[in-house]
Structure 1
């Protein structure tokens, strides 16, 4: 460990891992499928076969690895866990430090189009005063971060790690935070636990509150939202219930079969994005497979799913009626998996900006990086501090 508490990291997947992957793809034992099933029963086999054929014969991991290594990677020991993160300095007079947190089944790779837009706005027709120092950690148990070996590493514990990374390792006294999916939960807990350090938070996802609410107090829009969430859980939420209850049982299959892993992940990219049923309208095969490789090559699908288990057992950080007082901005992408009304968000957040986005879904940074970048610039512009 170097003096600053971080040390450089470079991605270098052993060739033996790639050779083993090719062998496993060659030996896939495919299941049967109902005629004209489409995606109704889950991942469509015709599409998956085409993606797996590309993975086996055309996908160039070494080229993707070289692209990933153009970023500045570090690892840092935080409370006994070595956490991987990208750290790109802003090109402007006073870059604002911003920590971006991904979710599942995503990875730090989701931010690769967003990063240059935030660090170097001038190159994209923006104002240098809007530049950010961008920090993108890999969640514990994801990608090149260590896998927790003990119970209890929920989003609350991750928030503590991120606070240590930003203040103790990188030396910032004040910073901003943003995220979606699991990253939105981490971001809110950061603001709740460390309001003196957080100048503002931005979210592109809001889930149901863990704090019990009296239905009589809810607006019609909030009651409708909760019904929609309940119906979504019935139709689409089986994966989360499995992750939150018996993740280890599923892990044996997904850690052993690259086709199984790809099927588990790509179905979510199709279902949760603004792609009108055609996943490659939003994500190229190379993008889909690079993200999948960050789970396969590191053998982190099991540890990534466990955060659902830990979150299910963690106590709600908010007391009834309590609000996170750090200023919050919220971007509502139309194909996000939940669409809460503003009054729902204002029960727990100090909402200062609420934007209905014109397009995009759950993977906003990868789907609509320019829209998200402009939204982040606009929200954080009034809160920039000298010497943050």
Structure 2
């Protein structure tokens, strides 16, 4: 097996050596803000929007949508980056899933109770029975796609790390190049997915292969290269956006392709996301306020993308109304910030409740369950009975 390169201390991106780097935590908040803007644009009257004639405002809205998968990539990169050089075991992965499940269960049950109120008030007309089943088992029923796919990835993580390290640098590089060609370059072609779909754990495995190779074997890129990646990603998106907008304007067909380059796991989004991550990671400052707010970034996702809450803000803030308003960009910005701030405030309350209860001894119940289960699986000691010798 090839030796594992640990890299020089100067290239390592640390998260404070026990103290969280608030620059990275700030990026976590910004990535979630991108995701909220994406959902507000895409989740509401999307077909109507694509059928509108090309205008600078429409292009601006499309780039707001495109920030969603940039945010997804950044959020995953922050989550996995500091795990790549740790001892990853099945126990540690299960413990992370356990802690994740507590937050999911809190919000699934709390928001289900709120949904019952909304239904009684006539603000929600979806199936309560189906939502109840999802609320009791939010992780396994994929009430939210991201945490379910991420939990599945965590289960695979110890084995992926072992396998990638066993490959060695050369084979790992070959695998990363194949993945980039198969899903990165080929993914720039319309109708080409090569069996990779958004909202799948395979997307995280794909990103893991690339990120782990960079983390383990490559020198840290410069700030200038970060900006080149960001500009390259934006440049590719501009070319695609204008080209397909022109085709739609001339033919009235192919409306869906106007958003093609922004959707799912496209390589321009990865360029932009990784460039931003590296720029923020090389800046270090420490702020308890920023870290506290960032601790609720994931809660913003859970609250605003819950089926009932999503239906609520879609009805109150239809995209058609925002787009046709006197100041469409200002209207969209205010709405995104309002949704983000409300959800953040709600999860800060959840964070405070957890701090007074389950987080006082974080993971204690998991350790008890783990210890009990491992005790039962231990082989019973074999007692040998001495043979009786005849007198």
TM-score range, shorter chain: under 0.3
Q: Which structure's residues are more often strand, by fraction?
A: 1
Greater helix proportion: 2
TM-score, scaled relative to structure 2: 0.26
Compare relative contact order (CA 8 Å, sep 6+) and give the higher one, 1 or 2: 2
After TM superposition, the score normalised by the length of structure 1 is: 0.26
Which structure's CA Rg is the greater one? 2
